[in-house]
Chain A
Amino acid sequence: MGYNHTEITRSRYQQFENRKETNMEIQVRNNGDITILDLSGNLIIGRSEESLRDLINNLIAEERKHLLINLAEVPMIDSSGIGAMIKSFTSLRAVDGQMKVLKPSRMARQLLTITGLLSVLETYEDESAAISSF
């Protein structure tokens, strides 16, 4: 059985469009001066990376400048997600803040390693260790 090429491409456009719509949830917790962002869902192109950047900009405006990003429930990150993390890290650094990463999944850790970000972003497996590192 042969594929109808147009059908395949259409369905891939649809996948691409659907991916954009996928929402990632972010829970915000405070622990003293430190704000913990529990992300769940894929950090990929579209709303999820935009909402992360918007949230961090709002936190900076509220003088919350020490952020711990919990990636335990983030199975997948793409290059836009990496871009959002770079931008967030830079924005915080510019206001003397800090951003650290908690429990990256296997795939996320692999991507952070390849892109060299592990040499810049501090990552922790234990939340209390991460909190006391600030």
Chain B
Amino acid sequence: MQKPAQLKIINRFGATRFLSLNKPVFTIGRKADNDLQLLSDTISRQHAEIVYENEVYYLVDIGSKRGSFVNDQRIERIALQHQDRLRIGGDEDQQIVFLDNTVENASAIFDSSPQLTLTLSSDDRLRAASANEELQKLARFIEVNQAFKFSLTPDDVLCLIIDAAIEITNAERGFLMLRNENGDLEFKVARDRERNWLLGNDFSMSRSVVEEAFKQNRSVIINDTLESASHLARESVRSLDLRSIACIPLRRFQMSENMDATTVLKRDVIGVLYIDSHVIGGTLTETSLRLLESLAFEATKSLENVRLMHEEQEKKNLEQELGMARAVQVALSPTASRQPDHFEIASQSIPSRYVGGDFYDLIPLKDSRSVFVLGDVSGKGIAAALLAAMAQGALQAQFASDLPLTEVITSLNKVLVQRSATNSFITLFCSVLDRDGQFTYINAGHNLPILARTSGQTEMLTTKSVVLGAFDFVQYHPRQTRLNRGDVVVMYTDGVTEAVNTKNEMFGDERLEDLVRGSVALSANEIKNRILDELLGFTRGLPQGDDITLIVLKMR
């Protein structure tokens, strides 16, 4: 039998996928139940169809607002030819090419693996490719996040989550299961990587993995590289001939206030996100796992929103969102503080009631070098918190590939510019400390860190660089200084200097600088505590509108 024609879809980053035109009517539009779902506000919910009649494929516009185009000509209905370029609405993000498999040479195209065009000028292409993948995942993540802004139905959102989960993990299929009234799990969405709905008899899956994730409320991963499952679960996976599985609990957080004005988070598991694959080598990285957990979290949120809308409890909705987002932020902060021998480090982050996007990290490199990252995503709420988490992941991956500071910052900026349809941007201070005290930094629009010398002099660390995610034409140039024994660098976010008291006065830059200058003799931890004590004394516990993050570095 003749092979069906295909669409070759190349996204902005050069990642290619193929969709088989294996049905008489193949639908294209913004809604999730289309065979090809495109997320752009220039695309109608039901936009166009590819119809197969008498062995000819026709592209038919079904009354879209912004039109359909073949080789840049607007069309109503046209017979498609091999290598025709399709454009749907004003969507410039994807290149779509029609491939007729009856034409010779077409098969050669199918064998080519996804190619990445976002090049990082490094000699080691393999390492760069892995960093590049992380950037792509970040891009995909931003895309999904933006999709939530469209007025999608809950089912659309769930499909989107499953599709994104499959895509970022390279899995073959994914399920979303929710707890019903009796406390049992029920299938809600089941999709494969071609975005087809799976039917009931395709549901053979590892029950014990699902049970483990659901009952014990933890992510269960079985994989070439990561493994976190009981013996029983692993056995069941082997018997099903599956190679990799990830199952993430969907947790609902409920924030409530105690009598002593502290907030507590109560959580229960309302379902699971499950993906699996028979293919060897579909490895899950730390970053894709974190991304998957973020997606699971989004799923929970969208389901909760539906429930809350039902109850018409808007205020509770706000509380809930804040509570959940705070919990995610806490979960994503650096886990262990690694104390090397040539410097001391102390850090603390106090999330605000309006979840902000502060993030910080300490990344150890080869040759006893260390990277310090402190960033702040503009805007508040879940989108800011998650974008922060993903930017952090992308930075980790790129530094792990041993790329130089300038390249890391430049490529992160490009991805953020290309993808960010919203107004969000990131201020970032990123620095690399060598063993001998050489301190190289880029300050992309972030509050100026204070360098206090043992002599009592202070310097503000600036490179006058623009915030990340604003302009693709700007360049980032690092500066260098040498840190000597006893020197202190205090990095902070604007939540520190803009903290207000009941008289609506700000804590301010000068107060902070004086405080740092007078504390140089103390240890990193003591300096951190002294600043925080002073800050809390100033605000007298008034809840703040922004996250407060502080990192103190001191040379031994």
Chain A CB within 10 Å — which of B257, B445, B542, B545 has the most?
B445
Residues of A within 8 A of B542 (CB): 8
Instruction: Pick from B379, B474, B545: contact of A120, CB below 8 A.
Output: B474
Asked whether B309 is an interface residue with its Cβ less than 8 Å from the other chain, the reply is no
Contacts between chains A and B (CB distance < 8 A), count:
71
Choice from A3, A9, A82 contacting B378 with Cβ under 8 Å: A82
Does A83 reach chain B (CB closer than 8 Å)? yes
Asked if A16 contacts B354 (CB within 8 A), the reply is yes
Closest chain-B Cβ to A75's Cβ sits at a distance in Å of: 14
What's the least CB distance linking A20 to chain B, in Å? 12
* B 245-268 binary contact with A (CB < 8 Å = 1; else 0): 000000000000100010000000
B545 with A80: CB separation less than 8 A: no
Answer yes or no: A28 CB below 8 A from chain B CBs.
Answer: no
Cβ A86 vs Cβ B543 within 8 A: no
Instruction: Determine whether the beta carbon of A9 is less than 8 Å from that of B543.
Output: yes
Is B371 at the interface (CB under 8 A from chain A)? no
A40→B467 CA distance, assembly (Å) = 25
Q: Mark B523-547, 1 if CB is under 8 A from A, else 0.
A: 0000000000000000001110100
Contact with B along A79-109 (1 / 0, CB 8 A): 1101110110110000000000000000000
Q: How distant is the Cα of A84 from the Cα of B379 in the complex, in angstroms?
A: 12
Q: Looking at chain A, what size class is its interface with the partner chain?
A: 20 to 34
B289 at the interface (CB under 8 A from A): no
- How far apart are the CA atoms of A12 and B354 in the complex, in Å? 10
Query: Which residue from chain A places its CB closest to the CB of B262 in the assembled complex?
Result: A5
| Pairwise interchain contact B447-A114, C-beta atoms closer than 8 A | yes
| Interchain CB contact under 8 A, A80 and B423 | yes
The CA of A127 and the CA of B424, in the complex, are separated in Å by: 30
Q: How far is the CB of A54 from chain B (nearest CB, A)?
A: 13
- DSSP majority for the B interface? loop
Minimum C-beta distance from A86 to chain B (A) = 4
Query: B411-445: which residues lie under 8 A (CB-CB) from chain A?
Result: 422-425, 427, 444-445
Contact A84 B423 (CB under 8 A): yes
Query: Which one of A6, A9, A83 has the highest number of Cβ atoms from chain B below 10 Å of its Cβ?
Result: A83
Name the contact of A16 in the complex, choosing from B424, B445, B545 (C-beta under 8 A): B545
**Known A5-B257, A8-B543: A82·B425 in contact at CB below 8 Å:** yes
When the two chains form their complex, are residues A120 and B425 in contact, meaning their CB atoms are under 8 A apart? no
Interface presence of B464 (CB below 8 A): yes
Q: A residues 1-41 with Cβ under 8 Å of B?
A: 3, 5-6, 8-9, 12-13, 16
Give residues of chain A (51-88) contacting chain B, Cβ–Cβ below 8 Å: 53, 79-80, 82-84, 86-87
B321 to chain A, nearest CB (A): 13
Within 431-480 of B, Cβ neighbours of A (below 8 Å) are at 444-448, 464-467, 470-471, 474
Contact (Cβ within 8 A) B257 A86 = no
Q: Which residue of A lies closest to B446 (CB)?
A: A114
- The listed residue (B261, B423, B464) touching A116 by CB distance below 8 A is B464
A65 to B542, CA, bound (A): 45
- CB pair A115–B427 under 8 Å, yes or no, is yes
User: What's the Cα separation between A82 and B318 when bound, in Å?
Assistant: 25
- Residue B193 interfacial (CB < 8 Å): no
Closest partner residue, chain B, to A17 (CB atom)? B318
Which residues on the A side are within 8 Å of B466 (C-beta)?
115-117, 119-120
A86 and B423 within 8 A (CB)? yes
Closest chain-B Cβ to A80's Cβ sits at a distance in Å of 6
Closest to B258 in A: A5
Contact of A86 among B379, B425, B446 (CB under 8 A): B425
B423/A83 in contact, CB under 8 A: yes
CA distance A116 to B464 in the complex (A): 5
Chain A residue nearest in CB terms to B509? A110
Closest to B540 in A: A3
Shortest CB distance B335–A (Å): 28
Q: Which residues of B contact A49 (CB under 8 A)?
A: 423
Residue from B354, B379, B541, B545 in contact with A83 in the complex, judged by beta carbons closer than 8 Å? B379
Distance (whole angstroms) from the CB of B507 to the closest CB of chain A: 15
CB atoms of A83 and B257 under 8 A apart: no
Contacts of B318 in A (CB 8 A): 13
Q: Is the CB of A86 within 8 A of B470?
A: yes
Within 8 A of A (CB), among B310-330: 318
Contacts of A90 on B, CB cut-off 8 Å? 470-471
Q: List residues of B (378-429) whose CB comes within 8 Å of A's CBs.
A: 378-379, 422-425, 427
Contacts of B448 in A (CB 8 A): 114
Q: Is B353 an interface residue (CB 8 A)?
A: yes
A5 touches B261 (CB 8 A): yes
Given the complex of chains A and B, what is the CA–CA distance between A79 and B423 in angstroms? 9
Known: A79-B379, A82-B378, A82-B425. A12 touches B474 (CB 8 A): no
Q: Which residues of B contact A89 (CB under 8 A)?
A: 471
Chain A hits for B425, CB < 8 A: 79, 82-83, 86
**Closest CB of chain A to B445's CB: distance in Å?**
4
Once A8-B543, A86-B470 are accepted as A-B contacts, the answer to whether A119 and B464 lie under 8 Å apart by CB is: yes
Q: Which of A12, A87, A114, A119 contacts B545 (CB 8 A)?
A: A12
State A114–B318 Cα separation when bound (angstroms): 32
Nearest neighbor of A4 in chain B, beta-carbon distance: B261
Residue contacts A-B, CB under 8 angstroms, 12 given: A12-B545, A16-B545, A79-B379, A79-B425, A82-B467, A83-B425, A84-B423, A86-B471, A114-B427, A115-B466, A116-B464, A120-B471
Write the residues of chain A forming the contact surface with B, with a CB cutoff of 8 angstroms: 3, 5-6, 8-9, 12-13, 16, 45, 49, 53, 79-80, 82-84, 86-87, 89-90, 114-117, 119-120
Q: Which 5 A-B pairs have the closest CB atoms?
A: A83-B423, A5-B261, A116-B466, A79-B378, A115-B445
Please name 10 further chain A to chain B contacts, defined as beta carbons within 8 Å, in addition to the given A79-B378, A119-B474, sorted by A numbering: A6-B261, A9-B543, A16-B545, A45-B379, A49-B423, A80-B423, A83-B423, A87-B423, A114-B427, A116-B445
